Amino acid sequence: MEVAIPYDERVGESKLRVLRDGSRFLRTIVTVALEYNPLKFFLLAGTLLLGLALFLSLPAVWYYIQVRRVEDSEIYRLFTVMVLLVSGVETAYFGLLVTRVLALTENPVRQRRGIGPVAGFLLDRRVFELSIRAGITLILAAAVLNYRTIYQYVMTRQIYMHWSYMFTGATLVLVGVQLIMGGALSKILEEVKERETLRRSTAQNDDGSRNAHR
């Protein structure tokens, strides 16, 4: 049996505003992600960007494997790939650094939640030290790849090498610099943490000595 339900059309304008309420909603999502699990949020976002970069680069890579040449028409695709690749690395590394900061500052929310085995491995100080070495290796690889380009420019002030060499080298340098700076920042944070711990320990010992004399 069906019963008709009276319905009156809503009168007036909606109080929701796309820009104002949308930006507020976005800020709430980002805040929750940063406080709850920044590593998972940014690592997932970075992985998606890297996956999209890999997907877009496959046709150009396959073509190069077949004919050993990069066509000029691929420049727009490859620039998009470079932007996605660098953005993906920066986003994922940002998640690692934020989580590292929370771990070093003993964030209470994070202490209660704990760190999983994968996150524990990624946040190990040796991983950040390795990232510095990886960054240096990428920059050196860019220099080796473009040594003839550099030589041509120094000797003749002209470059005759194909643009793809410089493009690949620039991508390697950008990623390498990001890895080096991220690893260096992690080491600085550890040093600051150790100094702060030492300062607190010294202050507690001084307080204990003064109380003992009293």
DSSP string, 60-93: HHHHHHHHS---GGGHHHHHHHHHHHHHHHHHHH
Phi/psi at 193 (5° precision)? -65, -45
Which position has the token pair 């607190």? Answer: 200
Cα–Cα distance, 154 to 135 (Å, whole number) = 25
pTM above 0.75, yes or no: no
Tokens of 131: 């990232």
Cα–Cα distance, 121 to 106 (Å, whole number) = 18
Q: How far is CA 98 from CA 16, 132, 173, in A?
A: 33, 18, 23
pLDDT band at 111 (very low <50, low <70, confident <90, very high): very low
Residue 51 has pLDDT above 90, yes or no: yes
Average pLDDT over residues 10-37: 66
* Widest pairwise Cα distance in the chain: 92
Residue 62 has pLDDT above 80, yes or no: yes
- Report the interhelical angle of 147-156 vs 125-145 (nearest 10°): 50
- Which pLDDT value is given to residue 112? 43
- Which pLDDT value is given to residue 167? 92
pLDDT tens digits, one per residue of 17-27: 666 766 777 77
- Which pLDDT value is given to residue 124? 72
Lowest mean pLDDT, pick from 4-8, 42-46, 79-83, 126-130 = 4-8
